[in-house]
Amino acid sequence: MRITRETLIRVARETAQKRALSDPGLAAAYLTGSLRTEHPFLGGVTDVDIVFVHAETPKVRREIVPLTPEFHLDILHQPRSDYNKPKELRLHPWLGPELYDPQPLYVTGHFFEFVQAGVRDKFNEPASVHARASRAATEARQKWSELQATQAAWPDLMMDYLEAVRLAANAIALLNGRPLAERRFLLQFPERAQAAGRPELAEALIQMLGGGDADIEALKSCLIAWEKDFVEAAGRPRVEARIAAPRLAYYKNACESMLESESPQAILWPLLLTWTLAIHSLPPTRQAAWESACKGLGLVGPGFDENMGRLDRFLDIVEETLEKYAE
């Protein structure tokens, strides 16, 4: 069966309509994520990001529903109360861009009219853009500060470090667009850094993820070890939703595609993020391959302090850029 962007959008609409029939508390549903772009496929694969808005607080907040071995629905369940102050959502670095232009799939009342009237009002004004980027930068600096004092185990340290990097990079990206997509994180950032007048940050971001010490063959070996840990973690109870079994091809195909491209180091973000998430579900005896890969990239062990210094300098440039933007 040939699966196109239009095919998946139709599946999303049909899914929302079916859920509405079985759930009288469903207030709205909308499509977001890669299918809202012209080129959603990476490595021939994408997912279907749907948000269901419920009148009451939902018991399940995220579910992964397989469609085929390569495609799945990624459904977020949100309470209606999260959308009660749309003018505040306008300044939210993640929900603001998401709600600016989603594709409605199902609606009751005037949900989208109410929410979008507040979100879109002054959304693109410099003060609003600056507020969204500054919030990400502030959270990144806070994460960096917390890392200075923590004595956590390496998987926890890496998870916090990656979150700080995500926030710092998005503080630049939000100055001229939506937040960076998870799989395309390192593919999209150079253009955003260029647009923000800070092209040097593209190489700095690669360095913070160990790109300076990585070659293609080493990355291919990492991907093999990553897949083994991903599959094992996906079979365990209470695993993080991003490590659900139906998402294996979503990440693997994208990583393999990047390894064969002109930007093989772009694999580093989805590889490190999902591998670290998977490791959190595995016993310490199963962390050897992950730890060895991170040490090879200079991210675990003595190299961690050096990368913390890189992150500090990266954040200094981000903060300087935001100050100039404010002026």
pLDDT at residue 214, as a whole number: 78
Does 70 share its domain with 148? no
pLDDT at residue 211, as a whole number: 87
Does 138 share its domain with 265? yes
Residue segments in the chain with a per-residue pLDDT below the cut of 50: none
Does 279 share its domain with 171? yes
Does 111 share its domain with 26? yes
Does 81 share its domain with 140? no
pLDDT at residue 212, as a whole number: 78
Q: Which residue has the tokens 């002054």?
A: 122
pLDDT at residue 278, as a whole number: 97
Does 68 share its domain with 153? no
- What digits encode the pLDDT tens for the residues 105-154? 999 989 999 999 999 999 999 999 999 999 999 999 999 999 998 888 89
Does 38 share its domain with 164? no
Contacts of 275 (CB under 8 A, 6+ apart): 222, 226, 229, 230, 290, 293
For the chain, percent of residues with pLDDT exceeding 90: 93
Domain boundary among 120, 138, 173: 120
Does 141 share its domain with 283? yes
Contacts of 32 (CB under 8 A, 6+ apart): 49, 50, 51, 98, 102, 103
Does 238 share its domain with 201? yes
Domain boundary among 120, 140, 170: 120
Does 219 share its domain with 280? yes
CATH code of the domain covering residue 104? 3.30.460.10
Neighbours of 71 (CB within 10 A): 18
Number of structural domains (the chain) is: 2
pLDDT at residue 46, as a whole number: 97
Its domain, for residue 322, covers 127-326
- What digits encode the pLDDT tens for the residues 163-187? 999 999 999 999 999 999 999 999 9
pLDDT at residue 1, as a whole number: 66
Does 219 share its domain with 301? yes
Does 114 share its domain with 144? no
Domain boundary among 120, 140, 165: 120
pLDDT at residue 213, as a whole number: 67
